[in-house]
């Protein structure tokens, strides 16, 4: 909080009320051996004016670059009312809604959010959010193992077209619980999962197949064919989806024959800024038959003894959130503040507004590929439909090019050489509705100058 109004007299009165002699007495349970008297290297305290100046200087040092990187976190326009409302005290400070009679506002917000996510994904039920898209995917894999009781293998088929950071997080979270993550290759000419790669798994015990739509490259997977394969081979389907894309793409609940079993992703595009990597807000929805295995909190609508509408946590015992050994999941605190931001964002835009955002993203990505593809030494790596971002190949290493662009105030994209060396000098570039044609022309001119300079050197 920007201002703490307590005077020394206030502090003394509070301490007297609780029977403490000093603030240090509040920490007497910490063993002396664990306490430190000073922190080496930490400067002396600053006054309010000095702190304000220091933070302003640090923020200014970051600059305001023109951003063309996505790779799982996206710069979208955030309408002014979103954070004007979210930072109101009654929303900003709301926390655990266990006491329903005192938490109706929080519970209703959760319920409205869940309804929107369920409608957007065409699934039966949603939870009230998780930490981010990566942990949501890991939780979806753990949930699939719990839900698919006929499967004994705990095998998850994970295409390499899934966000590599999400794959890494999933492995770290699930490894200790015995899950086996098996990666599927992709077609380096199309940038999509190869359906034939599933053939060797046909008839074996597979717990679930993960399908990211659009995939990490921005390409659209053949979700219907992949879902049908999973159904035919007794595997559950986990859909990892970009929520903005669902305004124009087929929702996971309608994929193939019967749709996906679990849908997850990151709701960061819904009113959450790019905050140096987080916090973000993961979403998860599923078919009703799996709801008892869903992690996180679920708010339900009911009526009280007088028949008045009310909201409460439902379908899960409180023990799920407080008993480590008995819990369905140890993710127990939903990203309530960011869930509120997403709810307000979606309520403001509505279905038509979200579709306009998605179509603008499609148009800007097309403009970006067209503009950069005209430069000598640059070409689009993959053809076919795409959303949000595209893979471009250069005739030289990507890292020095990105460094040069950064010096001109342009974040040019994500270097794919470490995660996908088989693509050569490949760059993942993104354009959302926030990028204008002038922005794209600025990027194209800067990239053209750098390529020409490097060629002449």
Task: Give a yes or no: residue 31 inside a domain.
Answer: no
Buried b (16+ CB within 10 A) or exposed e, 244-257: bbbbebbbbbebbe
Q: How many domains, the chain?
A: 2
Task: Judge whether 137 and 240 are in contact, CB under 8 Å.
Answer: yes
| Statement to judge: residues 71 and 122 lie in one domain | no
DSSP H helices in 148-265 = 164-175, 223-232
Distance CA 386, CA 216 (A): 10
What are the structure tokens assigned to 74, written together? Answer: 């996206």
Q: What is the pLDDT along the chain (457 residues), one digit of tens a residue?
A: 567 788 999 999 999 999 999 999 999 889 988 888 888 888 888 888 998 999 999 888 888 899 999 999 999 999 999 999 999 988 887 777 777 777 899 999 999 999 999 999 999 999 999 999 999 999 999 999 999 999 999 999 999 999 999 999 999 999 989 999 999 999 999 999 988 889 999 999 999 999 999 999 999 999 999 999 999 999 999 999 999 999 999 999 999 989 999 999 999 999 999 988 888 999 999 999 999 999 888 999 999 889 999 999 888 766 566 666 667 776 656 678 999 999 999 999 999 999 999 999 999 999 999 999 999 999 999 999 999 999 999 999 999 999 999 999 999 999 999 999 999 999 999 999 999 999 999 999 999 999 998 777 6
Which of 37, 5, 44, 11 minimizes the C-alpha distance to 26? 11
| Statement to judge: residues 208 and 276 lie in one domain | yes
Tell me which of 345, 361, 387 is where a domain ends. Answer: 345
Name the β-bridge partners of 299: 313
What are the structure tokens assigned to 332, written together? Answer: 């127990």
Which of 17, 72, 27, 57 minimizes the C-alpha distance to 215? 72
Please state the pTM of the whole predicted model: 0.89
The CATH number of the domain holding residue 131 is: 3.40.640.10
Task: Give a yes or no: residue 413 inside a domain.
Answer: yes
Buried b (16+ CB within 10 A) or exposed e, 310-331: bbbbeebeeebbeeeeebbbeb
The CATH number of the domain holding residue 411 is: 3.90.1150.10
Task: Judge whether 301 and 311 are in contact, CB under 8 Å.
Answer: yes
Distance CA 419, CA 95 (A): 38
Contacts of 91 (CB under 8 A, 6+ apart): 85, 105, 109, 337, 340
Tell me which of 309, 325, 345 is where a domain ends. Answer: 345
| Statement to judge: residues 310 and 426 lie in one domain | no
Eight-state DSSP code of residue 198? G
Could you tell me the CA-to-CA distances from 170 to 93, 150, 179, 211, 239 in Å, in that order?
31, 22, 10, 14, 14
| Statement to judge: residues 304 and 451 lie in one domain | no
DSSP H helices in 304-430 = 319-322, 336-373, 398-407
Return the HEC string of 39-82: CCCCCCCCCHHHHHHHHHHHHHHHCCCEECCCCCCCCCCCCHHH
Task: Give a yes or no: residue 47 inside a domain.
Answer: no
| Host H or E run for residue 414 | strand 414-415
Of the chain, the end-to-end C-alpha distance in Å amounts to 53
């Amino acid at each position: 909080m920007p201002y703490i109004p307590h005077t020394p007299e206030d502090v003394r009165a509070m301490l007297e009320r609780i029977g403490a002699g000093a603030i240090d007495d509040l920490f007497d349970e910490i063993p002396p051996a664990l306490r430190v008297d000073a922190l080496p290297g930490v400067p002396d305290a600053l006054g309010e004016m000095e702190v304000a100046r220091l933070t302003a200087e640090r923020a200014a040092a970051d600059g305001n670059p023109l951003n063309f990187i996505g790779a799982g976190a996206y710069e979208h326009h955030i309408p002014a009312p979103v954070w004007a409302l979210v930072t109101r005290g009654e929303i900003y400070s709301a926390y655990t809604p266990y006491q329903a009679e005192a938490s109706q506002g929080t519970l209703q917000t959760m319920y409205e959010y869940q309804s929107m996510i369920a409608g957007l994904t065409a699934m039966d039920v949603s939870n009230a959010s998780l930490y981010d898209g990566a942990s949501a995917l890991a939780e979806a894999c753990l949930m699939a193992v719990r839900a698919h009781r006929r499967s004994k293998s705990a095998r998850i088929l994970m295409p390499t077209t899934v966000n590599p950071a999400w794959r890494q997080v999933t492995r770290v979270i699930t490894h200790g619980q015995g899950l086996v993550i098996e990666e599927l290759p992709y077609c380096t000419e199309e940038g999509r999962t190869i359906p034939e790669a599933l053939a060797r798994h046909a008839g074996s015990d597979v717990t679930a197949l993960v399908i990211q739509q659009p995939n990490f490259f921005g390409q659209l997977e053949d979700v219907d064919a992949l879902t049908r394969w999973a159904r035919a081979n007794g595997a559950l389907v986990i859909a990892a989806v970009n929520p903005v894309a669902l305004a124009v793409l087929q929702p996971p609940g309608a994929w193939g024959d019967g749709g996906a079993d679990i849908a997850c992703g990151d709701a960061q595009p819904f009113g959450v800024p790019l905050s140096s990597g987080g916090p973000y807000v993961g979403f998860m929805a599923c078919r009703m038959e799996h709801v008892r295995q869903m992690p996180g909190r679920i708010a339900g609508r009911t009526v009280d003894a007088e028949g008045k509408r009310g909201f409460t946590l439902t379908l899960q015992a409180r023990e799920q959130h407080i008993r480590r050994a008995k819990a369905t999941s140890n993710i127990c605190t939903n990203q309530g503040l960011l869930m509120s931001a997403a709810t307000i964002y979606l309520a403001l835009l509505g279905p038509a507004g979200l579709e306009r955002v998605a179509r603008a993203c499609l148009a800007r990505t097309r403009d970006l590929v067209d503009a950069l593809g005209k430069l000598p030494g640059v070409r689009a790596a993959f053809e076919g439909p795409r959303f949000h971002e595209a893979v471009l190949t250069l005739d030289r290493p990507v890292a020095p090019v990105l460094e040069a662009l950064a010096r001109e105030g342009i974040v040019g994209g994500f270097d794919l050489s470490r995660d996908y060396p088989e693509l050569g000098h490949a760059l993942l570039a993104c354009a959302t509705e926030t990028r204008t044609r002038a922005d794209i022309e600025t990027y194209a001119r800067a990239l053209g100058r750098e390529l020409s300079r490097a060629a002449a050197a």
